[in-house]
Amino acid sequence: MAPYRVGIIGCGRSGSPERKQGQGLSHRHAVGYEASDKARIVAAADIVKEYAKSYAEQHEIPAIYTDYREMLAKESLDVVSIITWPHLHAEMTIAAATAGVKAVHCEKPMAMTYGDAREMVAVCKARGTQLSIGHQRRFGNLFRTARHLVRNGSIGALKSMESCCANLFDWGTHWFDMQFFFNDQVPADWVIGQVDTRKPVQVFGAWMENQGVSHFKFHNDVHGSLLTGDERDGTPAHRLVGTGGVIELGVPDGAALRMLNGDAAGWQTIEVRDGLHGGDAFTLAVLDVVDALAENREPELAGRKALMATELIFATYESSRRRARIDLPLDADGNALLDMLQKTATQETCDETR
């Protein structure tokens, strides 16, 4: 079989592969494709020609474009990776699927509105395009070891999960996804949440809360929560509570993974190969995207799974706006956080003109 023809949309800033703020992610995607004998990157697109040229030189890519639509039209691509800011994800995913691309691997967060995220999944399903979203932590040894312990009954029956991070959208999409991962993808029934936006922050062009809380219940009666903001010193990234013990991941200044149960006195440190952010998860994710396409199976990072996590984000925003619990499925396609920020800005403008 000839290798799948891969196109990259979003090459990031030129310079060393270690550069952050998005540029590093494009290189991590490339390393994944380069590790596969089933795929070859044949084209790359970036609105800044210098970035596309530098990226192509580093990865020996024969064609570059400043217009991704031109690339889709000319290159007969099988697979496309999208590594751009969130407001472009839906447009680019839908364009790739419409152009006949067989698989789209898009970075997270999915989209700026829940409606756009749903459309990404719907269009790809209708076109027969495999869609995956960059929740690559599902491949991390830390997270897989924790899930194995839960499945093995090391803490009894799972009852609740508590997570914390900086925000609900950019980072929170990973942690919502992890809770579905730990709970075997059981759907959520409802969400109740609140956000504070007195000092909103912006990440990759997306506005988000400075502090928030989301509480939700899964269909198997497991409860989940996610706390966001800066005031979380000493709090583990994840705490999984069962009827017979507790597992903690990402303990500040402590173990990457530890467990408390009746098998030993005190906390047991569990050895893992990586941490919250390290390891070869990006490469493993891309390899799975390619292998899933070749094997005609669903990839681990399937769009339908990512949509479940995305629904919790926008349901939390909607709960804050309505000041009420949101029963799922979510019945709003917009982004309540942006609506609330716009309302606040309009009110402040009105106050200034009085």
| pLDDT exceeds cutoff 90 at 18 | no
pLDDT for the residue numbered 345:
61
Residue-wise pLDDT tens digits, 20-67:
334 489 999 999 999 999 999 999 999 999 999 999 999 999 999 999
pTM summary value: 0.94
- What burial letters (b/e) apply to 340-350, b meaning 16+ CB within 10 Å? bbeeeeeeeee
Question: Hey, what long-range contacts does 23-26 have (CB within 8 A, 24 or more apart)?
Answer: 23/51, 25/83, 25/107, 25/134, 25/282, 26/55, 26/81, 26/83
Measured at the CA of 182, the angle between CA 267 and CA 135, to 5 degrees, comes to 115
- Which stretch of 19-28, 46-55, 179-188, 276-285 has the lowest confidence by average pLDDT? 19-28
Measured between its terminal Cα atoms, the distance across the chain in Å is 70
Q: CB 314: neighbour CB atoms within 10 A?
A: 28
Residue-wise pLDDT tens digits, 96-122:
999 999 999 999 999 999 999 999 999
pLDDT for the residue numbered 353:
53
pLDDT for the residue numbered 22:
40
Q: C-alpha distances in angstroms, 71 versus 99, 196, 319?
A: 10, 42, 41
Measured at the CA of 126, the angle between CA 120 and CA 132, to 5 degrees, comes to 45
Mean of the pLDDT values across residues 269-296? 95
What percentage of the chain has pLDDT greater than the value 90?
88
**Structural domains in the chain, sorted by start:** 4-136+280-299 (3.40.50.720), 139-276+300-354 (3.30.360.10)
**Which is nearest to 309 in space by CA: 200, 168, 196?**
168
Question: Beta partners for 202?
Answer: 207
